Amino acid sequence: MHKIDYSSAPLLTVEGLKQYFRISRTFTVKAVDDVSFKIWPGETYGLVGESGSGKSTIGRSVIRLYDPTAGKIVFNGMDISGKMSHSTEGNLRVQMQMIFQDPMASLNPRKTIGDIIGEGLDIHHTYKTRAEREEAIKNILLKVGLSPEHATRYPHQFSGGQRQRVGIARALIMNPKLIIADECISALDVSIQAQVINLMKDIQDETGTAYLFIAHDLSMVKYISDRIGVLHLGHLLETGTTEEIFSHPVHPYTKSLLSAIPEPNPIVEKKRVAESYDYKTSGIHYEDGTSHLVEGTHYVKCTDEEFKKWV
Amino acid sequence: MSDSNDKILEIRDLDITFKTTAGPVHAIRGINVDLKRGETVAIVGESGSGKSVTMRAAMGILAKNAVVNRGSIIFRYHHQDGSEAEVDILSKDKKWIRSHINGKRMAMVFQDPMTSLDPTMQIGRQIMEDMIWHYKTPKEEARKRAIELLTEVGIEEPEKRMKEYPHQLSGGMRQRVVIAIALACNPDLLICDEPTTALDVTIQAKIIELIRRIQKERGISVIYITHDLGVVAKVADYVNVMYAGRIVEKGTINEIYYDPRHPYTWGLLSAMPDLDTNDERLYTIPGSPPNLLHEKAGDAFAPRNKFALEIDDKADPPMFQISTTHFAATWLLDPRAPKVEMPAELRAKILRMKHEAGLDDTPAPEERATGIATDADVREEGSAAGAVTAADGKASGNTSGEVSEGVKADSAAETKAADSAKSGEGGSADTGNSGAAGAAENEEGESHA
């Protein structure tokens, strides 16, 4: 496994990110509220949380599909929050790529696989001759475990796992520094999920790209991530290395989330009772919390009294 | 509980084909499922393996282009006065099933609660609908029952919720409402088709707890259709593993998890990372599920099976009995097959699982890499019948050279077998014959046991 140099400058720094959606004059959805995290080159950062916790919104704000309400996003030394200059935006669009959840919905059904994968090359004019373009597409297809003949086929001719490989190939062809994988395996069959995860790991070892891995399946997140952030209701409650989060969860929500994962071990599982957690009755107010250091890189968002009680 | 009439559902040799514009799709290929009163059986498999189609057949709600080639689905239920009745679902027409079975004796919980609820109807009315339709319950009484049901499934302020519409509820609440509707007529059998796949883990845990609690209180039988082995571990008494329209392995939950025999089950168990997985790479089942439009001879799993024998391409394996409750359809269990062990990673994982469960006195899970010594323990732990089969396999594997010609060289296990494969000059036609003969012999062997 590759080593990550945590003393180097982080690839992505997100500070105090807020993403609000105004529904009406009196009602605003605070999808993401004051979230900060960092991703280092070659690292995989897992974002977990239930639906509606804002994990996908963070991914979309970071890649600037949304305009963040407040906060600072620095990527590869460029400030990409607020209005971007033409060259900054060009850089961002090349160096940060995204893999979506549903591979069928995210591939244009009327384009061949070759054209879908090559679209980035076409837009950014990164080839001189036609042959060079075909060569790049061929190489990337081989890298993701498809064959070059597939370039002339259409998305409907592929299985779900193969389509997701196309999605990965499309992201990879620009040689990005960061790939945002938004629930990229949850639409796939169990046996195919493992194939795609292995492929993503291999690619990371080879190219050193970083992943922002967004998912709700904690066992897969644990497997692929170096560090993890736990989101609930738009707040980043706890973050740390995978080891820190899984062996010493501090926040009650993290604990309930971990205890809710069913284990494939019938005798143990039948006896186990999941911890329940209800925000309304827990007496915890996320807005009042501030970031507290537990140890190492393990932070938890809470008030001083809560911190004393939990740790 | 051993009384055979205690079986609430008996599916025998069910075989279903779908007529499509692209040609016939042989979706279900001769499956047997048994369910006793008050027990839970789980059907596990990838999408397209036929798990949902089986249960739709049991409810008589198959699509119009489905043709049932053969088989029977015997369902035993109680009339309101307590007398028992027995029907073959497949022999009844849709109208009869609709008025006597669906929703009344057999109820279903679907995957996505948003699409299974009527968005234009208050949830109270949706719960009452069943009772009014099936039992002509007076409206006031149905209302009272509906409120009771909502309380039972853990919804607060049921009177207020009765008047709300599905879009006003969260996903978990909606699924609770669906369960309340399913329970409205006091069914004998509850079929849950991926009931928690669309929900978050925390909500999933609550819904599963709810179904388990209701099952215990009411003593109903439950069929779980899912691909999540963690959920299965939590709920099931018996497990059926399906692949390409066949049940490839069935047994009690402990047999499937602690002593799996079919390579596909090995793959499923290995591919799921538990929270202790530290391996560099996840185990994967190569390839993808087969397209049933193009039926192939022999075992449908063979192309993805690295333990496949040559005979797998010729003949479908019969169900081999391992214990009184444990069966698996793989040629690896044939007494003449070379002895193939489950992958070392999985064996280590199972040892670890057993250790956590306090099942074994084997040394701590740290000894994962040591392989063979610990494997013997696993075998011993398995049922007595299982041990006998294994021993048999070894013995006859040594004596009879002629059968091992079926071994592909890549099956990691036996060099001996590979040798005899080279020496045996039997062509492929021969193998086919011996395969058929083998199947016949096996059935004999089973009846002896």
Q: What mean pLDDT comes out for the span A268-291?
A: 85
Instruction: Tell me the three state secondary structure of residue A253.
Output: helix
CB contact under 8 A, A223 and B273: yes
Residue type present at position B399: T
Between B445 and A296, the higher pLDDT residue: A296
Residues in chain A: 311
Kindly report the nearest CA distance between residue B434 and chain A, in angstroms. Answer: 33
CATH topology of domain A12-310: Rossmann fold (3.40.50)
Structure tokens at B150: 């909502």
pLDDT > 90: percent of chain B: 39
Least confident of A101-115, A154-168, B211-225, B420-434: B420-434
- pLDDT for position B276: 63
In terms of Cα–Cα distance, which of B198, B357, B376, B342 is closest to B274? Answer: B357
Residue from A189, A111, A121 nearest A157 by CA: A111
Give me the mean pLDDT over the A54-80 stretch: 93
| pLDDT value, residue B377 | 40
Interface TM-score (ipTM) > 0.85: no
Higher per-residue pLDDT: B379 or A179: A179
For tokens 């706890």, name the residue. A238
Residue A271's pLDDT band, with cuts at 50, 70 and 90, is confident
What predicted TM-score, i.e. pTM, was given to this entire model?
0.77
Is residue A193 within 8 Å of residue B270, measured between CB atoms?
no
| Residues in B 384-413 with any Cβ partner in A closer than 8 A | none
What is residue A1's predicted lDDT score, i.e. its pLDDT? 54
Decide if B46 and A266 are in contact by the 8 Å CB cutoff.
no
Q: Which of A257, A265, A267 to mutate to test the interface with B (most CBs of B within 10 A)?
A: A265
**B227–A195 CB contact, under 8 Å:** no
Helix or strand run (H / E) with residue A181? strand A178-182
Q: Of A1, A257, A269, which has the smallest distance from its Cβ to B201's Cβ?
A: A257
Residue found under tokens 């046996």: A191
Q: How far apart are CA A293 and CA A304, in angstroms?
A: 11
**What does the pLDDT read at residue B156?**
87
Cross-chain residue pair A191–B267, CB shorter than 8 Å: yes
With a cut of 80, say whether residue A248 has pLDDT above it. yes
User: Does B205 contact A at CB distance below 8 Å?
Assistant: yes
- Give the DSSP letter of residue B201: H
Residue B360: how many CA atoms within 13 Å on its side-chain side? 22
* DSSP 8-state secondary structure symbol assigned to residue B253: H
Q: Which amino acid is at B161?
A: R
In chain A, residues 248-287 whose CB comes closer than 8 Å to chain B: 256-257, 259-270, 274, 276-277
Is 70 exceeded by the pLDDT of residue B299?
Answer: yes
- Condensed to tens digits (0 to 9), the pLDDT of residues B122-167 reads 999 999 998 999 999 999 999 999 999 999 898 889 999 999 999 9
* Neighbour tally for B346: CB within 10 Å: 18
**What is the reported pLDDT for B392?**
41
**B114 Cβ under 8 Å from any chain A Cβ:** no
Higher pLDDT, A214 or B413: A214
Say yes or no to pLDDT of B399 above 70.
no
Pairwise CB contact (< 8 Å): B203 & A50 = yes
Side by side, the strands of the sheet bearing B106-109 are B106-109, B189-193, B221-226, B40-44, B238-243, B246-252, B327-328, B320-321
Among A8-17, A106-115, B362-371, B420-429, name the one with the lowest average pLDDT.
B420-429
SS3 at position B144: helix
**What pLDDT is stored for residue B32 in this prediction?**
93
In the structure, what pLDDT confidence band is assigned to residue A234 with cuts at 50, 70 and 90? very high
Task: Give me the pLDDT at residue B5, please.
Answer: 61
Q: Do A262 and B277 touch (CB under 8 A)?
A: no
- Which residues have a Cβ under 8 Å from the Cβ of B148 and sit 6 or more positions away? none
Say if A26 is an interface residue toward chain B (CB within 8 Å). no
Report the distance separating Cα A68 and Cα A20, nearest Å.
8
Cβ atoms of residues A227 and A45 within 8 Å: yes
Higher pLDDT, B374 or A154: A154
CB contact under 8 A, B201 and A191: no
Among B165, B178, B181, B170, which residue's Cα sits nearest to residue B123? B165
Average pLDDT over residues B360-383: 43
pLDDT-derived band of residue B387, with 50, 70 and 90 as boundaries?
very low
- Characterize A229-238 residue by residue with b for buried, 16 or more Cβ atoms within 10 angstroms of its Cβ, and e for exposed: bbbbbbbbbb
> What local confidence, expressed as pLDDT, does residue B411 receive?
41
Q: Does B267 touch chain A (CB under 8 A)?
A: yes
CB-CB neighbors (< 8 A) of B271 in chain A:
190-191, 193-194
Element (H, E) at A13: strand A12-22
Contacts of A267 in chain B (CB under 8 A): 254, 357-359
Distance CA B100, CA B349 (A): 47
Helix A190-207, helix A160-172: angle, nearest 10: 20
**pLDDT > 90: percent of chain A:** 61
Residue given tokens 């890298």 in the structure block: A143
- What is the rounded distance in angstroms from the CA atom of residue A111 to the CA atom of residue B449? 59
Model pLDDT, residue B181 = 94
Domains of chain A, residue spans: 12-310
Given pLDDT bands bounded at 50, 70 and 90, which one contains residue B354? confident
Residue B15: count of CB within 10 angstroms of its CB? 16
Q: Which two tokens stand for residue B83?
A: 């007398």
Is residue A161 less than 8 Å (CB to CB) from chain B?
yes
Per-residue pLDDT at A219 exceeds 60: yes
Average the pLDDT over A70-78 and give the result.
93
| Mean pLDDT of the residues in chain A | 90
Q: Which one, of B297, B324, B333, lies nearest residue B313 by Cα? A: B297
The pLDDT assigned to B360 comes to 66
Q: B437 versus A74: which is more confidently predicted?
A: A74
Cα separation, B140 vs A225, in Å, equals: 55
Q: How many angstroms from the chain centroid is the CA of residue B305?
A: 19
Higher pLDDT, residue B201 or B398: B201
* Cα distance between residue A124 and residue B282, in whole Å: 36
pLDDT given at position A2? 63
Among B90-99, B335-344, B356-365, the minimum mean pLDDT is found in B356-365
pLDDT score recorded for residue B143: 95
What is the dihedral angle through the alpha carbons of A103, A106, A111, A117, rounded to the nearest 10 degrees?
Answer: -80
Cα B274 to chain centroid, rounded: 20
Percent of chain B with pLDDT over 70: 77
Q: What was the pLDDT predicted at B291?
A: 80
Q: Using N-to-C axis directions, what is the helix angle for A130-143 and A113-124, rounded to 10°?
A: 120
CA dist A247 → A212, A222, A235, A265, B330 (Å): 22, 11, 21, 19, 40
Six token digits for residue A192:
């195919």
| B204 CB within 8 Å of a chain A CB | yes
Q: Tell me the mean pLDDT in the region A40-58.
A: 91
B254 membership: H or E segment, kind and range = helix B253-258
Nearest CA in chain A to B48: A189
CB A98 within 8 A of CB A179: yes
Given a contact cutoff of 8 angstroms between Cβ atoms, the answer to whether A247 and A94 are in contact is no
Q: How far is A217 from chain B (nearest CA, A)?
A: 8
Chain B hits for A261, Cβ within 8 Å: 201, 230, 275
How far does chain A reach from its first CA to its final CA, in angstroms?
32
Q: Is the dihedral of CA B173, B179, B181, B185 positive or negative?
A: negative
Cα separations in angstroms, B10 against B55, B74, B278, B409: 12, 5, 42, 41
d(C-alpha A24, C-alpha B72), whole Å: 58
**Which one has a higher pLDDT value, B48 or B155?**
B155
CB atoms B228 and A274 under 8 Å: no
Pick A190's closest partner by Cβ from B206, B227, B254: B227
State the pLDDT at residue B307: 87
pLDDT tens per residue, range B68-92: 999 999 999 888 787 888 999 999 9
pLDDT for B138: 94
Give the largest CA-CA distance in chain A. 65
B277 part of contact set with chain A, CB < 8 Å? yes
Mean pLDDT of A263-271: 84
Query: Sign of the CA dihedral B408, B413, B415, B421?
Result: negative
| Residue pair A81/A68 in contact by the 8 Å Cβ criterion | yes
Q: Which residue has the higher pLDDT, A172 or A187?
A: A172
CA dihedral B396, B398, B403, B408 (to 10 degrees): 130
CA distance A258 to B210: 19
Spatial separation of the C-alpha atoms in residues B351 and B230, rounded to whole Å: 17
Contact check, Cβ <8 Å, B275/A219: yes
